[in-house]
Amino acid sequence: QKENRHSSEVWIKSCGYYQVVKGRRTESTHAVFQTRIPAFQGLEKHPLGGVMARYKKIDVRIWNDAKFNALSSDARLIFLFMLTAPQTTMVGAVPVDKHTVSRILKFDEIRYGIGYKQLSEYGMLEYDEAGIFWIKNFLKYNPPENPKVVISWSSLLDLFPECPLLIKVAKSVLKACET
C-alpha cells in the first residue's frame, strides 16, 4: 500500500487555506484552523477581511529585468516589500500608507522618497494619498487561476477607498480578465 505522505500537509492558496484530509483537498475556514491546528492559532486577520496569505509568488525573472536592475538598493527593497507584504492583495493593490512602509523598512522620509521616486519614474509602482499602492504589472505575473478568483476580486475592490488610483486598478483587473 502506498503511504499517504500528505495527510497532515496544509496548502495555502491566495488568501484561502486548504487542508489535505485523507488525500482529498478540503476547504477550511479560519475558525476551523484556529481550533484544530495549533500552529494556526493567533493568525492575524487581513485588514480587508480573510486571513493573510503566508506565501506570495515572485517571478524569478525579476532578477533579469532591466528596470529592476537599474533601481537603487532602496527602491528594490521597497518593491520587494510591496510584492511580499501581508497587505498585498490578489490584484496588486496594497492598502498601506507611505509612512507605514517607511517605518517598517526603517527608512527616513528622504530615503523612502528617493526609492519611491525611482519606482514611480520607471512605471513600476504608483501611490495615492488615500493610502493605496499599486504594483502596475502585478496581474501580468499573477493572473487569475480560475473564474471564482475573478469574482472575489470585485468584492475586494469595494473595500478600498474611492480614489483615482482605484480606477486604474479596476481597469487593470478588467484587462487581466480579457487575456
Q: Report the distance separating Cα 143 and Cα 146, nearest Å.
A: 9
All residue ranges of the chain with pLDDT < 70 are 1-54, 179
- The pLDDT, as a whole number, for residue 175 is 85
Please classify residue 2 by burial: count the beta carbons closer than 10 Å to its beta carbon, then call 0-12 exposed, 13-18 middle and 19+ buried: exposed
Q: How far apart are the first and last CA of the chain?
A: 44
Q: How far is CA 80 from CA 64, 115, 128, 139, in A?
A: 15, 12, 19, 16
- The pLDDT, as a whole number, for residue 5 is 40
- The pLDDT, as a whole number, for residue 36 is 33
* pTM, entire model: 0.70
- The pLDDT, as a whole number, for residue 54 is 66
